[in-house]
Amino acid sequence: MSGDATIVVVVTRTKERLKEAGATSEATAKTPKELGLAKRWLITSSHAGVAVTKDGRYYLSSKKPKAKPT
């Protein structure tokens, strides 16, 4: 699997796990341990709508991620 394809799989599975866990807002955010995910997967998915709280919990944000300048 190519690097880009691997990232797509990681992001897709991460977002699915967040939805399944009900982590769809800051109030319902979960820790990586609660989600059963490696922190690096959550960080990798941050460009695709995964947000982090100040105390290190993650959730699927309903806001569209900002485009990175090119």
Quickly tell me which residue has 């900002």 as its tokens: 66
Quickly tell me which residue has 């955010």 as its tokens: 29
**Cα angle at 33 between 35 and 40, to 5 degrees?**
85
> Taking the CA of residue 39 as centre, how many other CA atoms within 13 Å lie in the half-sphere pointing to its CB?
4
Whole-structure pTM value: 0.81
User: pLDDT tens digits for 12-43?
Assistant: 999 999 999 999 999 999 999 999 999 999 99
b/e per residue 18-31 (b: at least 16 CB within 10 A): beebebeeeeebbe
